[in-house]
Copies of this chain bind each other. A is one copy, B any other.
């Protein structure tokens, strides 16, 4: 496995990789969600490129950029064990955002709701760094996790709208045994918060069960999630949503596919999770 700490190094190592190239962009502190994407890329027969970069432009000034967990040595061992060929891990933010940097990629529309409503500059930062990474890595396929469902839809639109010659591949959300979606931010949770957090997946289970029992009213489904999460005193809801999957607008009555999603705080730690209705339907 080769490791590039600068874009210049990366480019010369990238040139030597056989096609097709599969790309797994990450912010590091890897868990099995990330690693499952590297595994998918490998199983698809691609050279596997991963990036580890805690992208500052997708954090607001009030958010957890400085606290974001890092463990580069362990990340590199894990990626190597998955058969990753090349890792881009820039040592400084200057490599991506040098003095005078001033170009922004904005996917409008679907970025204004849900995560985008709570974090107004987040998806601009995501779309910008992903466009940059796509140009640097020039992958044939890019792998993203369904856990960040809205992000996946934003990347799909970015690829389509800007004509990137890249196939988007999504991996399923990987969960702990008790149902908590894996996330680098789970490391922030206290023992009590960690015990409480599986309420998120249980609230999605409840919506799935109601839906399968015939319930189609959006407000009934949202209320059911909220009610269950509110039984957990350590949980503070940011949003619960049952939205049309195409528009991400809140659904009055469900028709076609829906994205059921939530963002909930445990202390300072903000966690997200989601499921698609009907159960087992694909996000994209």
Contact = CB atoms under 8 A, between A and B. Distances in A.
A161 B102 contact: yes
Contacts of A105: 103-106, 131, 162
A280 interface: no
Contacts of A136: 163
Interface string A158-172: 100111110000000
Nearest to A111: B102
B103 A162 contact: yes
A196 to B, nearest CB: 38
A29 B108 CA distance: 32
Nearest to A110: B102
Given A7-B163, A138-B165, A165-B138, A103 B132 contact: no
Interface string A101-131: 1111111111000000000000000011001
A103 B106 contact: yes
A157 interface: yes
Interface in A146-183: 157-158, 161-165
A167 B81 CA distance: 37
Contacts of A16: none
A132 B102 contact: no
Given A105-B105, A107-B103, A108-B104, A132 B162 contact: yes
A123 to B, nearest CB: 11
A12 interface: no
Contacts of A110: 102
Contacts of A164: 135
Nearest to A124: B106
A245 to B, nearest CB: 14
Contact of A135 (B11, B128, B157, B163): B163
A11 B102 CA distance: 30
Contacts of A101: 161
Interface of A: 7, 11, 100-110, 127-128, 131-132, 135-136, 138, 157-158, 161-165
